[in-house]
Amino acid sequence: IYYKWFGGAHLINQYGIARTFQNIRLFSEMTVIENLLIAQHNNLNTNIISGLLNTKNFKDSENKALKKAVKWLEICGLKQYANDVSSSLSYGHQRRLEIARAMCTDPRIICLDEPAAGLNPTETKSLSKLITSICQDYDTTVLLIEHDMELIMNISDKIYVLDHGTVIACGNPAEIRNNKDV
């Protein structure tokens, strides 16, 4: 339904919404940095002519995109992998790359679909810090769909619990922890 309302996935991002997927959907044959640059193509202030002529505006736009990509590689702890093919990264690093790619679009809301799935406890703890930083340091709302209850309880302000698509509880972590239906 939201695709019809917004008119397509690329337009959803123009409304300030980005997402990651439960199953990783990186451009597997591209490098890590290329994955972040391609995410920004809608935000570049260029056209085909400026690209062919390699205008100052085109160069400035490319430099701005590259700086943003490097910033998110640093934040997500992936800078040393910038020139590696994304499919060569560990599973945990691929998850972080998906988050970095989404954040390169400057979303107001980011939807993370089971970002801790398949991560070990150390990776999950690191992910928790990253998500908290995204909320606090970058003023981005995070909508988290997750089954890792420890992660949810540690970072959430408000939790909705669903049972087969029906909301059975809503509240802060303490309220959810003490809810008999949950």
Strand 141-145 with 109-113, pairing: parallel
Check if the beta carbon of residue 35 is closer than 8 Å to that of residue 101: yes
Let me know the angle formed at the C-alpha of 127 by 123 and 133, rounded to the nearest 5 degrees: 150
pLDDT of residue 51: 63
Determine the Cα–Cα distance for residues 112 and 36; give it in Å rounded to an integer: 17
pTM of the predicted protein model: 0.85
**pLDDT tens track for 130-169:** 999 999 999 999 999 998 999 999 999 999 999 999 999 9
Q: Which backbone phi and psi does 107 adopt, to 5 degrees?
A: -75, 155
pLDDT of residue 1: 42
Pull the structure tokens for residue 62.
């490319």
pLDDT band (50, 70, 90) for residue 8: low
**pLDDT tens track for 63-103:** 899 999 999 999 999 999 999 999 999 999 999 999 999 99
Q: Is 179 helix (H, G, I), strand (E, B) or coil?
A: coil
Q: Which backbone phi and psi does 93 adopt, to 5 degrees?
A: -70, -35
Check if the beta carbon of residue 111 is closer than 8 Å to that of residue 140: no
